[in-house]
Structures are given as C-alpha cells and as structure tokens.
Structure 1
Amino acid sequence: MSSHRATIDVAAMHAAAAQACSLLKVLANPDRLLLMCQLSQGEASVGELEEHLGIRQPTLSQQLGVLREHELVQTRRDGKNIFYSIVSKEALAVMAVLYTQFCPTS
C-alpha cells in the first residue's frame, strides 16, 4: 500500500514560520496587545487610545511606532489628530482568536 501524501515545500514552511514568529513577537508585549485589541474594534486617535487604555506617553508613542514599523497599523492625520487602524489581516485574525480564547463575554 502506498501512502499519498502531499509534497511539503519545506522552504515555504520555514518562511511562513518566520513570518508567524515575527507577528507573535510583536504581539507578545502587553501594551502592544492592548493597542491591537482596541484597534481591532475600529480606528482610534492617539488621545482615545491613551484615555481608554491608560497607556501614557512616551510608552504609547513607542509601542505605536513598533506596530507601524512592522506594518500592522496605518495612520491617518486629521488636523492635529493622528488616527490609527489595523492594516494587517493576519494580525486581525490572530486578535480574533485571542479574543475568543481570553475575553469571554459572560
């Protein structure tokens, strides 16, 4: 009997694992995780993020910078306000799983 297994592209698996690890490393910081959780609910200004999450400057700016650097969020300026939103569909999918597992609705 011969087994019909799909051929696994090991190089592609390594690349995907590296991408997944990079995303998980960024999300592994409590402040960044809180920011991504808040932003998964929709766009928010820097002031709104600071008020809702209690993350103060300069920590807030530093962590938002990391999220921008890793291309998980984008910014939009409206006058003096800067608004953030999630652009990474992979990060949004991970946030949905984390929400289901760790944020019960009871």
Structure 2
Amino acid sequence: MKVLSNPDRLLLLCELSQGERRVGELETLCDIAQPTLSQQLGVLRDEGLVATRREGKHIHYRIDSPQALAVMGVLYDQFCK
C-alpha cells in the first residue's frame, strides 16, 4: 500500500488496470514527464507490481500482481470511470 501512496504511481496503476500500455502511451495518458515516468515505473517493477514486454523499440507494461490488479479494479470503478 505504501507504493500506492504516490499519486504518479497510483495513476500509472490505474491506467494499467485497464490493460497493457506502451511507455509512450502512459506518458500521454498520465501526463507524466519521461524522467519521472521512468523512475516511477522502476519502483513499480522493483516492487513486483508490474512486468514488461519488449516489442521492437517499444516496452509494454502490465500489472503483474493479482492482488494489485484487484485493488486497482476497485479503485478504478470508484474513482476513475
């Protein structure tokens, strides 16, 4: 839950709860500058909440924790729709 206390990370997980996204998509959707985006995605990766997949030059992120996905599903339904 401590990881979710950061607004940028919470917003990223909210977007990822709707499906896999490329880094560029996350940057646009969340309006987070590239350096901050990379830092926050790194924290989420280090905590085991997200996983990556490379496709050519693009890196795709997805939520990799069933528990985090369940929490984000509830939060998305209540606050993000």
Query: TM-score, normalised on structure 2?
Result: 0.94
Q: How big is the alpha-carbon RMSD for the aligned residues of Structure 1 and Structure 2?
A: 1.0
For residue 58 of structure 1, give the secondary structure of its aligned residue in structure 2: helix
Of the two, which has the highest radius of gyration?
1
Q: 2:19 aligns with which of 42, 50, 64?
A: 42
Count of paired positions: 81
Q: Which amino acid aligns with 1:80?
A: K
Which residue of structure 1 lines up, in the alignment, with residue 28 of structure 2? 51
Question: Any residues of structure 2 matched to 1:62-77 within 5 Å, and which?
Answer: 62-77=39-54
CA distance in 1, matches of 2:73, 2:29: 20
Where 1:41 maps in the other structure, the secondary structure is coil
Name the amino acid aligned to 1:57. Q
Once the two structures are superposed, the pairs formed by residues 1-106 of structure 1 within 5 Å of their partners are 24-103=1-80, 105=81
Structure 2, unmatched stretches of 5+, are none
Could you list the per-position Cα deviations for residues 31-56 of structure 1 after superposition, in whole angstroms to 9, with x for gaps in the alignment? 00000000000000000000111101
TM-score (norm 1): 0.73
Identity %: 69
1:101 Cα offset (Å): 2.9
Runs of 4+ in structure 1 off by over 4 angstroms are: none
State the structure with bigger RCO (CA 8 A, min sep 6), 1 or 2.
Answer: 2
Q: Select the structure that is richer in strand.
A: 2
